[in-house]
């Protein structure tokens, strides 16, 4: 058997397994997210939210993934992984997805909102009172920030920022100097809200909004006195935005990244969006300005940036059009008010977020900061957000005289600026701030507390599959693991010392550490199970992750499956392993679960006979995670906690009959609906499908109520 990469669907030829294309797999993931926006049973505002999520995901896809395909198309390359053909196939898939988005927006969501008295009204739909209000708003809030640019040799095409809103206008007549300069550009500042709510006095009892693009469009003529506005269109350009810094060539990574951020908004153009009505001549003019081929042009029937409609969601109340609020329960293995140090001396604790509250993690750090016996706190920071209670606690710890060491990952994509700011703040008040290892992203999530207890020092640790971000902790499924295990916390200490000093890492007791041994240990574990299965022993692999693209791990899984190992993979996003291909991957099933929360936990389960092991991890099964990042995987050795993770993170998702999609042998994901089984008399009966997330929400809500009743 051999493995090859292609953009096509899997083709079986003489025992050769063709991997699925990663970029098309990412787009397929967004198709699954978009499905939630199509579901009539989903509350209306949430359907719009899923539509916005897909648009935001597509923006990032183009910013990060499109450039190599585009460069190959422009260069006329026909060999390699990136070619003219790969660009054309990717463009076709992306155009199809975008067309579905706007069709849903116009044909279903807009009418549904209107039925509830909620409308975004265009200039033609506004009555005189509404037009007067919009005009006054434009004169007061918008016009002072606009400077139209008429193009001529002295006024070349202006720099247009990544994903910004702009207008192109064709003018007739002559300018103030008697010259013909028929093209003008209007740049719309980011500081202006993209959606504005009309006041009640002009709304006629309805909930009415106006789009900023509509406000500008209605006043284009007033911006060019003495000229006649002809054809025009809104437009938006997406640019390649992956920061590239040669760490071997810079003396100060933080300074180099901050300088790089200044240029991110003006990188290589990769996509151009215009109104569907945009004249061919204007579209071609813009394509030429941005050096883009025709397939990079996206004509859209609506706002060029659907992602900014999240502002509409924020402006709406309408609780009946949203998901019922979910209140995360306090972690069941913890008790409010109880000392974490006393609790962890009796055994480990788990927090299953967001079903259980991230407040448990904050409470652990809060106690460490306030405890005079705590001498040192060490933590990794990947994404925390711009407003972080956790960072405030670290600042308080420094000011309280504790030794605080923070490993800040400056290259966390699209969080670089926030992380630089936090690093500078902590450094300015005396924290020890380090930036990990040159050439590697520090993606591991860990917090280590060292406490004096009598004559000895004792360590307490927190390890997580997710980030230290309270906002995303309420939206992403992740596992937090609190422990005082001497071997596990000794491993954490060794990793922190390694990251700070870059000295040789000693052999770890329990952890697997990337880039050194995580990859090879996973491969060895898969190989061992394959050998055991071939010898007739009962074996099982169940792995939950966000992406599976590493070729070596895929090859190992395929081989193990062919030797008899039963393998279930729960992969939220990109997966290049084609499952259920007859004769090649019959023993491998791949499913993706898309729900109310973003699946983010990484859980790896291995069983040989009656012996089972389970690892939590910060790493997906991608080459970058295994070889170009600092990542951790660690075992859960407590049998009760391990069984809980098996039940909640694996079994529940393998039995999800509502939100799960299964990857077929044709390379296409098929949504699993309610299963129909034959009854005793041959009649069919429908088994009510359940969603894993809904089941967990119900379970934890009832546990929270029962605990509250007990406390009362």
Residue 710 lies in a domain: no
> Which residue would you say has higher pLDDT here, 564 or 179?
564
Confidence category of residue 583, pLDDT binned at 50, 70, 90 = very high
- In terms of domains, do 357 and 411 share one? yes
List the catalytic residue out of 24, 69, 219, 443.
Answer: 443
pLDDT over 70 at 182, yes or no: yes
Interatomic CA distance for residues 192 and 199, integer angstroms = 18
pTM of the predicted protein model: 0.89
SS percent in the chain: helix, strand, coil, step 5: 40, 25, 35
**What pLDDT does 394 receive?**
87
**What pLDDT does 674 receive?**
47
Q: Name which of 103, 228, 247, 214 is nearest 174 in CA terms.
A: 228
Q: Is 357 helix (H, G, I), strand (E, B) or coil?
A: coil
Interatomic CA distance for residues 471 and 386, integer angstroms = 11
3-state secondary structure 644-693: HHHHHHHHHHHCCCCCEEEECCCCCEEECCCCEEECCCCCEEECCCCCHH
Contact by Cβ (8 Å): 45, 25? no
116-130, 288-302, 402-416, range with the lowest pLDDT:
402-416
- In terms of domains, do 304 and 280 share one? yes
Asked if omega into 354 is within 30° of 0 (cis), the reply is yes
| Active-site residue flag, 155 | no
Looking at residue 105, the DSSP 8-state letter turns out to be I
> Which residue would you say has higher pLDDT here, 411 or 256?
411
Q: In the listed set 456, 481, 510, which residue is the last one of a domain according to the structure? A: 510
Average pLDDT (658-681) is 74
Total domain count, the chain: 3
- Other C-beta atoms within 10 Å of 391: how many? 21
Residue 629 tokens read as 């990042």
Residue 300 parent element (H or E): strand 297-300
What digits encode the pLDDT tens for the residues 122-139? Answer: 999 999 999 999 999 999
- In terms of domains, do 11 and 52 share one? yes
Interatomic CA distance for residues 251 and 126, integer angstroms = 58
Confidence category of residue 337, pLDDT binned at 50, 70, 90 = confident
Residue 327 lies in a domain: no
629, β-bridge pairs: 441
- In terms of domains, do 146 and 237 share one? yes
Interatomic CA distance for residues 499 and 476, integer angstroms = 27
- Specify the CATH number for the domain of residue 287: 3.30.1840.10
**What pLDDT does 501 receive?**
85
Average pLDDT (297-303) is 96
- In terms of domains, do 419 and 291 share one? no
44-65 and 84-104 helices, crossing angle to 10°? 160
- Indicate if the alpha-carbon torsion angle 469, 471, 474, 476 is positive or negative: negative
Residue 276 lies in a domain: yes
pLDDT over 60 at 243, yes or no: no
**What pLDDT does 2 receive?**
43
Residue 413 lies in a domain: yes
Cα angle 485-491-497, degrees, rounded to a multiple of 5: 135
Q: In the listed set 468, 492, 510, which residue is the last one of a domain according to the structure? A: 510
Range of the domain at 438: 340-510
3-state secondary structure 15-30: CEEEECCHHHHHHHHH
39-43, 46-50, 175-179, range with the lowest pLDDT:
175-179
Residue 600 tokens read as 């983010």
- In terms of domains, do 188 and 248 share one? yes
**What pLDDT does 154 receive?**
62
Residue 696 lies in a domain: yes
Contact by Cβ (8 Å): 402, 376? yes
- Indicate if the alpha-carbon torsion angle 411, 415, 416, 422 is positive or negative: negative
- In terms of domains, do 316 and 446 share one? no
pLDDT over 50 at 178, yes or no: yes
Residue 333 lies in a domain: no
Residue with tokens 């719009």: 48
Interatomic CA distance for residues 407 and 429, integer angstroms = 16
- In terms of domains, do 381 and 286 share one? no
Residue 542 lies in a domain: yes
In sequence order, the 6+-apart residues with CB closer than 8 A to the CB of 366 are: 393
**What pLDDT does 442 receive?**
83
Interatomic CA distance for residues 215 and 137, integer angstroms = 9
Residue 547 lies in a domain: yes
- In terms of domains, do 54 and 122 share one? yes
- In terms of domains, do 47 and 112 share one? yes
Q: Name which of 504, 468, 433, 495 is nearest 253 in CA terms.
A: 433
Mean pLDDT score across all residues of the chain: 88
- Specify the CATH number for the domain of residue 576: 3.30.870.10
- Indicate if the alpha-carbon torsion angle 55, 60, 63, 67 is positive or negative: negative
What digits encode the pLDDT tens for the residues 480-518? Answer: 999 999 999 999 999 999 988 888 899 999 999 999 999
Contact by Cβ (8 Å): 633, 615? yes
633, β-bridge pairs: 512, 617
Average pLDDT (384-405) is 82
- In terms of domains, do 119 and 251 share one? yes
**What pLDDT does 384 receive?**
65
Q: In the listed set 259, 294, 321, which residue is the last one of a domain according to the structure? A: 321
Residue 212 tokens read as 């900023």
- In terms of domains, do 299 and 362 share one? no
């Amino acid at each position: 058997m051999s493995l090859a990469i292609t953009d096509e669907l899997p083709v079986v030829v003489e025992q050769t397994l063709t991997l699925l294309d990663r970029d098309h797999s990412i787009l397929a993931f967004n198709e699954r997210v978009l499905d939630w926006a199509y579901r009539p049973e989903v509350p209306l505002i949430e359907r719009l939210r899923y539509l916005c999520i897909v648009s935001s995901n597509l923006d990032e896809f183009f910013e990060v993934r499109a450039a190599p395909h585009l460069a190959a198309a422009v260069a006329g390359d026909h060999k390699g992984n990136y070619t003219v053909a790969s660009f054309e196939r990717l463009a076709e898939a992306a155009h199809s997805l975008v067309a579905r988005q706007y069709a849903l927006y116009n044909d279903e969501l807009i009418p549904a909102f209107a039925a509830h008295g909620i409308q975004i009204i265009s200039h033609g739909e506004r009555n005189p009172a509404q037009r007067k209000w919009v005009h006054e708003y434009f004169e007061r809030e918008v016009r002072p920030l606009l400077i139209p640019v008429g193009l001529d040799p002295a006024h070349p095409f202006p720099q247009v920022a990544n994903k910004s809103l702009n207008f192109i206008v064709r003018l007739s007549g002559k300018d103030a100097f008697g010259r013909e300069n028929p093209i003008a550009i209007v740049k719309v500042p980011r500081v202006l809200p993209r959606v504005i709510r009309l006041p009640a006095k002009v709304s006629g009892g309805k909930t009415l909004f106006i789009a900023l693009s509509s406000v500008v469009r209605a006043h284009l003529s007033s911006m060019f006195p003495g000229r006649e506005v002809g054809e025009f269109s809104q437009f938006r350009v997406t640019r390649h935005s992956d920061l590239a810094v040669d760490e071997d060539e810079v003396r100060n990574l933080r300074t180099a990244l901050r300088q790089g951020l200044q240029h991110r908004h003006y990188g290589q153009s990769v996509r151009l969006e215009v109104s569907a009505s945009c004249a061919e001549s204007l579209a071609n003019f813009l394509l030429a300005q941005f050096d883009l081929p025709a397939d990079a042009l996206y004509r859209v029937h609506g706002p060029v940036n659907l992602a900014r409609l999240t502002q509409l969601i924020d402006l709406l109340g309408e609780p009946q059009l949203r998901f019922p609020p979910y209140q995360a329960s306090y972690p069941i293995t913890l008790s409010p008010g109880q000392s974490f140090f006393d609790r962890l001396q009796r055994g480990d604790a788990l927090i299953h977020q967001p079903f259980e509250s991230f407040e448990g993690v904050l409470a652990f750090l809060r106690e460490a900061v306030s405890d005079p016996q705590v001498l040192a706190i060490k933590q990794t920071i990947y994404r925390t957000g711009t407003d972080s209670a956790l960072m405030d606690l670290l600042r308080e710890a420094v000011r309280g005289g504790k030794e605080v060491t923070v490993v800040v990952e400056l290259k966390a994509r699209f969080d670089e600026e926030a992380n630089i700011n936090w690093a500078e703040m902590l450094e300015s008040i005396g924290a020890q701030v380090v930036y990990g290892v040159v050439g590697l992203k520090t993606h591991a999530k860990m917090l280590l507390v060292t406490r004096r207890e009598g004559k000895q020092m004792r360590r307490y640790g927190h390890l997580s599959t997710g980030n230290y971000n309270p906002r995303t902790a309420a939206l992403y499924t992740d596992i937090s693991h609190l422990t005082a295990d001497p071997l596990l916390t000794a491993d954490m200490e060794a990793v922190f010392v390694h990251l700070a000093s870059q000295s040789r890492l000693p052999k770890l007791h329990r952890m697997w550490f990337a880039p050194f041994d995580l990859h090879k240990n996973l491969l060895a574990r898969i190989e061992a199970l394959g050998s055991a299965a071939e010898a007739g022993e009962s074996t099982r692999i169940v792995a939950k992750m966000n992406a599976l693209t590493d070729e070596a791990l895929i090859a190992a899984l395929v081989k193990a499956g062919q030797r008899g190992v039963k393998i279930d993979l729960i992969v939220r996003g990109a997966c290049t392993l084609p499952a259920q291909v007859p004769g090649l991957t019959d023993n491998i099933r791949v499913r993706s679960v898309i729900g109310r929360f973003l699946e983010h936990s990484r859980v790896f389960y291995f069983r040989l006979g009656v012996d089972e092991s389970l690892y939590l991890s910060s790493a997906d099964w991608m080459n970058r995670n295994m070889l170009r990042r600092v990542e951790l995987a660690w075992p859960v050795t407590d049998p009760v906690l391990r069984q809980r993770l098996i039940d909640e993170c694996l079994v529940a998702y393998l039995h999800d009959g509502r939100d799960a999609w299964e990857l077929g042998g044709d390379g296409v994901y098929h949504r699993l609906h309610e299963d129909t089984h034959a009854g005793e008399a041959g009649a069919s009966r429908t088994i009510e499908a359940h969603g894993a997330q809904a089941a967990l929400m119900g379970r934890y809500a009832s546990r929270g109520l029962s605990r509250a009743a007990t406390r009362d």
